[in-house]
Structure 1
């Protein structure tokens, strides 16, 4: 009766519940907190953006050259 095993499977499942709850909370915080894909490796430089704008025809060659000189590239 009082041998210390009174919890049986209920105690084991209670531990599992708390572990899963903590894992879900950690996952939710990571997902909401800053899991954006804007790591430094994936960010484009200003010169890359300028080249893309020129390739799309948003700016002409004169403006491209001027802005490229301004950027130092």
Structure 2
């Protein structure tokens, strides 16, 4: 006769006890890999289709330059000179 500590299941009493915890761990791991690691958005959004390094920095600088020219902060000659400097 089995004691009440095993609920009549022998050694299998641990399975229904641990299964919900295991399921929570699996769900958290899946969400972690789908939604990303340490940042917003899925992992495939990071660095996909985006260049890094000097090309990306030059593009950003040219965008800023275009905005300054559009606001009238610099003249056309200054715009062309800075643009040439950035592209070389």
Greater fraction of residues in helix: 2
Q: 1:18 aligns with which of 25, 40, 43?
A: 25
Unaligned runs of 5+ in 2: 1-7
Q: State TM-score, norm by structure 1.
A: 0.53
Deviations 1:20-62 (A, max 9, x none): 4545666684228xx8x88426x57133321221011121222
Number of positions where the alignment pairs a residue of Structure 1 with one of Structure 2: 68
Question: Structure 1 residues 47 and 18 mapped into 2: Cα distance closer, same or farther (>3 Å)?
Answer: closer
Q: How do 1:40-51 residues align onto structure 2 when only pairs under 5 Å count?
A: 40=50, 45=59, 46-51=61-66
Unaligned runs of 5+ in 1: none
Q: State TM-score, norm by structure 2.
A: 0.47
Larger radius of gyration: 2
SS of residue matched to 2:12: coil
RMSD value, Cα:
3.6
